[in-house]
Structure 1
């Protein structure tokens, strides 16, 4: 084949290629998502009863549960962005397990305290419906935003990355719920929270995993991210 034909072929192959914008480091992308969570908190906080919040946070188990929910959101978001980068260790997925375990444990202690001290205020059906609506209403947009941000990285294990994103969104929603939670934890209340959180994680893992599974430019994004070291 003549040299001019080779050159023409090469020009045809590379002529339609579009430059791919280099991804920011995973930690920076996680910080950007967490900034969006803080923006939601800033919008909601003027509606919170701060006196009630201070009283609730004075109780050790409630304070630990709120703190660990926040830490779970932070570590799960970081793990999601880390595992979204091809070549990064899947061990990042273990990062949120410890704060999540303390979050669940402290919430369980709240139920035990309510059983041992019957004077605590139980949750009525209307309040639990409000908690469910709050968790779903906050988790959904945070999950969508996270999936959109993760999609550019072309994760090789999209279901794991999406499930971690779901955990981050659910934990963030649970943290933002604390100022609006009108009662101490009960077994029924904890069950509602657990079902909602697990539902958010599961839906993210299924549908978010499909969205993160790649597209026509998945290979280009992967090669670009590897060449840049994933940020």
Structure 2
């Protein structure tokens, strides 16, 4: 190669300047902002469902026994903290210990639901859920979890989860937790073993579905 040809070639510094000339700074993704956006949609869902529900009957039922309202608080907090954990674990560099965030309210939800089944008295004016009633509850949780899960996956595409299985499982728990919470608007039944089993199966199914189908999306 002649000296003239060599002199025409750009130096390393010039090459780097050319490659980076049109680059723009990347705005970092805010996990808190994404989680807040998802929760805002949940609030809109809640407002719509509340407009069709008998709120006075719901409040009477929930306040008739501590296990009823504590289970509702547990499911709501599980959904809120699970979606926060999902977005926190989706950002590279964040600790996987964020996945432990929804575990305390999840334990409260499970414990108080079980205590409702072991309660020695029935709520006044409220009957136990039959098999058909529990089937409707199962369908409600699964059906409402579907749009919430899809929205969550869309928002997660703005991030770069290095542990998609963990993130998606947390997202499924968030969707199922909020769906179970909103079910209280249309759940005029006392706690029962069959109802608890159907709820648990629905939540587990949503978590597994998010894990399996979401993995294909991120792949």
TM category (shorter chain) comes to: 0.7 to 0.9
1:101 aligns with 2:134: no
Alignment of 1:68-217 (within 5 A): 68-113=74-119, 116-117=120-121, 121-213=127-219
How far 1:182 moved relative to its partner?
1.9
Residue 73 (structure 2) aligns with: 67
Q: Tell me which of 2, 7, 22 is aligned to 2:6.
A: 2
State the TM-score, normalizing by the size of structure 2. Answer: 0.87
How far 1:99 moved relative to its partner?
0.4
The 1:12/1:91 distance shift into structure 2, 3 A limit, reads same
How far 1:14 moved relative to its partner?
5.8
State the TM-score, normalizing by the size of structure 1. Answer: 0.83
CA contact (8 A) 2:131 2:194 kept: no
| CA shift digits 1:159-204 (9 cap, x unpaired) | 0000000000000101111121120111111100000000101111
CA contact (8 A) 1:66 1:103 kept: yes
Instruction: Detail structure 1 runs of 4+ shifted over 4 Å in the superposition.
Output: 3-15, 17-21
The 1:50/1:156 distance shift into structure 2, 3 A limit, reads same
When Rg is computed on C-alpha atoms for both structures, the one with the higher figure is 2
CA contact (8 A) 2:29 2:158 kept: no
How far 1:125 moved relative to its partner?
3.0
**C-alpha distance in 1 between matches for 2:70 and 2:101:** 18
Residue 38 (structure 1) aligns with: 43
The 1:143/1:4 distance shift into structure 2, 3 A limit, reads farther
**C-alpha distance in 1 between matches for 2:143 and 2:18:** 49
| CA shift digits 1:100-147 (9 cap, x unpaired) | 00011111111112xx33675121233222211211111000001001
How far 1:6 moved relative to its partner?
4.2
CA contact (8 A) 1:123 1:183 kept: yes
1:49 aligns with 2:54: yes
Count of residue correspondences? 210
| CA shift digits 1:68-96 (9 cap, x unpaired) | 11111111010000000001000000000
